[in-house]
């Protein structure tokens, strides 16, 4: 009885999208969330997305809405298709030979799966930061300039490199050694370099695939602080195995798990505070309370 009573208002809030009441609860200390009370604007919408590797269905019938200027966390047990789903959004998985996907992914009202859409163009608009920092074997400056160069950037590259490094909170660390190898930096710095490189092409969405799993706690915290900064201008989707990270850093949480057929699906999505304190689904509760996964 008790749970049913407390469940009602939450469900209502969830169906209407994160309303003002919930927004208040998830408002981060930085105050980065928009103060307008209007319904959030969705930048990315996954509609009935299924992903296949050959005959194997890795992800089934996923519907997710990604709010603008917010951080959406994908959590769930290993192998439930979080990364596959993330790599579908920027069509990175199109590079996997046996891979195909169904459904629609709407970015600003345009279906990214549409025939006329070129994956190369999608990846400029939807950036990605990987699990292990992967700077290019080039100088720090060249690492950041690479993306703008391949996309035909016509402005002042030096300025763009500096701005990008500043936004990634790396400028002060590297301003005197822009000609050194990007690989000479520490792990956390390398990951921030990869973030700088990503924002240098001015994407609308930044996907992060467990960006802190190879980093120590201090670097992890720096990345999380950076994410809180970045969401003022960008929309972030992050896959994480670290539930504290999802709870700390995200505004919306999507919980996925996999069924008997090993196909991943979305169990529940909602404001992070609600998912972690008052999940509606038993599977979610088991997972976030550490009883499973």
Partner 1 sequence: MTVANPTAPPATPVAPRFEPALMRRKLTGTIFYGACLAAIGVLLLALTFLLIDVFRRGLPWLDLGFLSGVPSRRPANAGILPALVGSFQVGIFVAIFSFPLGVAAAIYLTEYAKDNWFNRLLQTNISNLAGVPSIIYGILGLALFVRLLGLGPTSLAAGLTMTLLILPVVIIASIEALKAVPDAQREGAYALGATRWQMVRGSIFPAAAPGIMTGLILAMARAIGEAAPLLLIGASVFVTFLPNPLEGSYTVLPIQVLQWASRPQADFQGISAAAIIVILALMLVLNGLALVVRARLSRHIQW
Residues that bind partner 1 (CB under 8 A): 90, 92, 95, 97, 120-121, 123-125, 127-128, 130, 132, 134-139, 146-147, 149-151, 181-184, 194, 197-198, 201
**Closer by beta carbon to partner 1, 196 or else 267:** 196
The CA–CA distances, whole Å, from 136 to 38, 56, 104, 217 equal 42, 33, 32, 24
Contacts of 69 (CB under 8 A, 6+ apart): 32, 33, 34, 231, 232, 233, 234, 235
The CA–CA distances, whole Å, from 140 to 74, 143, 168, 209, 220 equal 30, 5, 13, 22, 21
- How far is 125 from 34, CA to CA, in rounded Å? 22
**Closer by beta carbon to partner 1, 90 or else 240:** 90
**Closer by beta carbon to partner 1, 60 or else 197:** 197
Contact yes or no for 256/264 (Cβ under 8 A): yes
**Closer by beta carbon to partner 1, 46 or else 200:** 200
- How far is 59 from 49, CA to CA, in rounded Å? 8
Residue 266 dihedral angles phi and psi, to the nearest 5°: -85, 125
In whole angstroms, the minimum distance from the beta carbon of 125 to partner 1 comes to 8
Q: Is 270 exposed, middle or buried (0-12, 13-18, 19+ CB in 10 A)?
A: buried
In whole angstroms, the minimum distance from the beta carbon of 147 to partner 1 comes to 4
Q: Enter the tokens of residue 150.
A: 């391949």
In whole angstroms, the minimum distance from the beta carbon of 69 to partner 1 comes to 21
**Closer by beta carbon to partner 1, 200 or else 288:** 200
**Closer by beta carbon to partner 1, 42 or else 146:** 146
Nearest C-alpha neighbor of 84 from the set 49, 117, 114: 49
In whole angstroms, the minimum distance from the beta carbon of 180 to partner 1 comes to 8
């Amino acid at each position: 009885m008790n749970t049913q009573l407390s469940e009602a208002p939450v469900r209502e809030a969830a169906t209407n999208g994160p309303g003002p009441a919930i927004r208040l609860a998830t408002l981060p200390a930085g105050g980065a969330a928009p103060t307008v009370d209007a319904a959030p604007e969705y930048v990315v919408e996954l509609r009935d997305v299924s992903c296949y590797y050959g005959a194997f269905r890795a992800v089934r019938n996923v519907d997710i809405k990604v709010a603008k200027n917010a951080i959406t966390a994908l959590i769930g047990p290993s192998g439930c298709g979080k990364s596959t789903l993330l790599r579908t959004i920027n069509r990175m998985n199109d590079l996997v030979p046996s891979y195909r996907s169904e459904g629609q992914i709407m970015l600003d009202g345009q279906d990214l799966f549409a025939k006329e859409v070129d994956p190369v163009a999608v990846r400029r608009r939807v950036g990605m930061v990987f699990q292990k920092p992967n700077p290019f074997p080039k100088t720090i400056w060249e690492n950041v300039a690479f993306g703008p160069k391949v996309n035909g950037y016509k402005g002042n590259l030096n300025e763009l490199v500096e701005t990008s490094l500043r936004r990634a909170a790396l400028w002060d660390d590297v301003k005197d050694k822009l000609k050194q190898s990007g690989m000479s930096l520490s792990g956390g710095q390398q990951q921030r370099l990869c973030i700088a490189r990503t924002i240098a092409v001015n994407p609308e969405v930044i996907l992060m695939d467990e960006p802190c799993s190879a980093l120590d706690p201090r670097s992890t915290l720096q990345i999380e602080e950076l994410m809180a900064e970045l969401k003022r201008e960008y929309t972030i989707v992050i896959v994480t195995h670290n539930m504290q990270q999802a709870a700390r850093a995200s505004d919306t949480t999507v919980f996925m798990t996999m069924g008997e057929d090993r196909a991943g699906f979305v169990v529940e999505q909602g404001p992070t505070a609600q998912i972690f304190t008052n999940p509606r689904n038993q599977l979610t509760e088991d997972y976030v309370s550490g009883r499973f996964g």
